[in-house]
Amino acid sequence: MFSFLVQVWAHQGEASKPFQMLNVDDALETHAHFGWESRYILEGRDTLEGGSLWSSSVEASYDHVFGGLWYGRSSNNDFRELHLGLGLKQEIGNFDYYLAYTHLLFPAEETSDSEWGAGFSYDALPYGMETGLDLVYSVDAEGTFIEWSLSKPIAILECWESNLGSTLGWNEEFVSDGHNGLNHFSLNASGQRSLTEHLGLVLHAAQSWAIDRDLALDGDASLKDVFHFGLSLEAEF
């Protein structure tokens, strides 16, 4: 049966969390995706002001190392974004830990940034629930964004799996011109349909609510209550 990590909770969106941290294994695993997002939501903010985003990625993992390439482009304006990432992952019991580095390029703006990410997840909560904490540090902004997530996988049919979850975000100078502190809360739902042994279709949707939005700050202008959804084709070998 087709299986991979569906991570739509951290940074809110399949397109926004490009690199799949595949299983810790001595075998080489690869993953690729091609998808569309109705809005490009990052840190609870409507980054493209209502514009949609097409994205694609290729990732690989071997033993405790994972990495990949992700590219996103808007069909509504001249926005392009490229990620190059590399990371390490460790599994200890029901805990997964990771440390990752991502270099971001924005060709249209001729700018770039580097981000360090770290976090853990735990999958043995009561009622089959899972939780995780993700931290991202921006070298350019010299700030950190933190997201705590809670989710529950639901196996409906042999060829269809779903996931319900929530995310709470905290900004600490990561969005340098936005307010610090509690940032947003979201509810998320996703569904995965196996098409073949190695190919699947993923549908997801999320409703995000802004917390303590301050319109006196430019960085909070795009922080809003917003609904967004997307779909993608996923392949794993």
Q: 25-236 has which CATH code?
A: 2.40.230.20
pLDDT tens profile 117-143? 999 999 999 999 999 999 999 999 999
pLDDT in tens, the chain (237 residues): 333 333 333 344 444 454 455 555 678 999 999 999 999 999 999 999 999 999 999 999 999 999 999 999 998 888 999 999 999 999 999 999 999 999 999 998 899 999 999 999 999 999 999 999 999 999 999 999 999 999 999 988 778 889 999 999 999 999 999 999 999 999 999 999 999 989 999 999 999 999 999 999 999 999 999 999 999 999 998
Tokens representing residue 59 in the block: 């990732």
pLDDT tens profile 141-156? 999 999 999 999 998 8
